[in-house]
C-alpha cells in the first residue's frame, strides 16, 4: 500500500538473480528479535540471499561489519533501535563504507522520514508490511544496479532529494540534543543541567533553532522533532 503523501511508483522492475548467480550477502539490524527472525527466515526460504550478520541495534551492526572478514553487499536497517538509531547508523556506514548499499525497512511511512533517511545516505526504503519478494527484489536490485524502484523511493524522487530539492537545515550536535529534549516535560534549567550548559546558552540554542526550523514555540520544536524522526513515537501505540 502506498501512502498518499509520498511520491512514488509501484513495484520494482529489475530482474531477479538467477539460480546460477551467487547469493547477495547482507547484514540486518532490527531490535525486535521476532521481526528480525521472521524476515531472515522468509528471505532465506526465497533463496538468492545470505544473511551473514544480524544485529539488535546500529552500534552492534557497525561493530560486526568492522570485524567481518568479508563485507556485506547490502545492509537492511530498521529506524527505531536502541543505542544507535537508523538515521545515525546509515550515516555512519555511508561514511565508513561508501559503496555499501543500504535498504531501510521501517514502520514509519511519512515523507519526512524518507527524505531524512535519503539525506543520511539510504539507497532504498520499504515498509515492514512489504511482501518478502519485494524485499528480496530490492536487495538484488541495489546490488546489481545500485538503485531500486520502490513505492516509497523512485529514481526520480531519489535524484530530487540528493540534488537539494528537499534539503533540510543543518543542525549542530547541541541543537539536535536540544531538539530531542524538547519533547520532554522539562524546564530550560533542567535541560541546561542535562546538556552540561547554562540556561542562557540553552536560550541561545533555542533561538537559533526557532530561526533554522521556522517555528515559534516549544511545541513547534517538539512537533519538528517527531516529524523528522529525531524522536520517535511507536506507531502501534495510540496517544488516546
Whether the pLDDT of residue 33 is over 80: the answer is yes
Residue limits of CATH 1.10.10 in the chain:
173-227
Alpha helices in the chain (DSSP H): 33-46, 58-67, 86-96, 111-120, 132-145, 155-162, 173-181, 188-194, 199-213, 218-227
Predicted confidence band at 234 (pLDDT cuts at 50, 70, 90)? low
> Of 27 and 219, which is predicted with more confidence?
27
- Band of residue 17 on the pLDDT scale cut at 50, 70, 90: low
Average model confidence (pLDDT) for the chain? 82
Residue 201 φ/ψ, nearest 5 degrees: -65, -40
Contacts for 216 with CB less than 8 Å, ≥ 6 apart: 210
Pinpoint the residues of the chain covered by CATH 3.40.50.2300. Answer: 24-162
Listing from the earlier edge strand, what are the strands of the sheet with 101-106?
A: 49-55, 24-29, 74-77, 101-106, 124-127
Scan for cell 546490488, then name that residue: 143
- Give the global pTM: 0.69
d(CA 230, CA 194) in angstroms, rounded, equals 17
Query: In this structure, what C-alpha cell is assigned to residue 231?
Result: 524522536
Instruction: Report whether pLDDT(19) > 60.
Output: no
Q: What is the pLDDT of residues 84-130, one digit of tens each?
A: 999 999 999 999 999 999 999 988 877 788 888 888 899 999 988 88
* C-alpha–C-alpha distance, residues 219 and 29, integer Å: 32
Burial 67-102 (b: 16+ CB within 10 A, else e): eeeeebbbbbbbbbbeebbbbebbbbbbeebeebbb
CATH topology of domain 173-227: Arc Repressor Mutant, subunit A (1.10.10)
Rounded to 5°, the CA angle 71-160-132 comes to 50
Q: Give the pLDDT mean for 153-170.
A: 74
d(CA 18, CA 181): 50
Q: Which CATH number fits domain 24-162: 1.20.1560.10, 2.40.160.40, 3.20.20.140, 3.40.50.2300?
A: 3.40.50.2300
Amino acid at each position: 500500500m502506498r501512502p498518499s503523501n509520498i511520491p512514488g511508483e509501484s513495484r520494482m522492475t529489475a530482474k531477479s538473480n538467477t539460480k546460477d548467480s551467487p547469493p547477495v550477502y547482507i547484514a540486518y539490524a532490527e531490535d525486535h528479535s521476532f521481526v528480525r527472525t521472521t524476515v531472515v527466515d522468509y528471505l532465506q526460504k526465497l533463496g538468492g540471499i545470505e544473511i551473514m550478520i544480524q544485529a539488535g541495534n546500529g552500534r552492534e551492526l557497525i561493530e560486526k561489519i568492522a570485524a567481518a572478514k568479508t563485507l556485506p553487499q547490502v545492509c537492511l536497517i530498521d529506524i527505531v533501535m536502541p543505542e544507535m538509531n537508523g538515521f545515525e547508523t546509515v550515516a555512519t556506514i555511508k561514511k565508513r563504507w561508501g559503496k555499501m548499499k543500504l535498504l531501510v525497512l521501517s514502520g514509519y511511512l511519512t515523507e519526512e522520514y524518507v527524505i531524512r533517511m535519503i539525506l543520511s545516505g539510504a539507497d532504498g526504503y520499504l515498509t515492514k508490511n512489504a511482501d518478502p519478494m519485494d524485499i528480496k527484489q530490492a536487495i538484488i536490485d541495489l546490488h546489481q544496479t545500485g538503485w531500486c524502484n520502490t513505492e516509497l523511493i523512485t529514481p526520480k524522487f531519489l535524484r530530487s532529494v540528493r540534488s537539494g530539492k528537499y534539503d533540510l537545515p543543518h543542525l549542530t550536535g547541541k541543537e539536535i540534543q536540544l531538539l530531542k529534549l524538547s519533547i520532554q516535560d522539562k524546564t530550560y534549567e533542567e535541560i541546561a543541567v542535562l546538556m552540561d550548559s547554562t540556561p542562557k546558552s540553552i536560550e541561545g540554542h533555542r533561538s537559533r533553532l526557532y530561526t533554522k526550523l521556522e517555528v515559534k514555540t516549544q511545541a513547534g520544536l517538539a512537533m519538528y522533532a517527531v516529524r523528522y524522526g529525531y524522536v520517535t513515537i511507536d506507531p502501534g501505540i495510540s496517544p488516546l
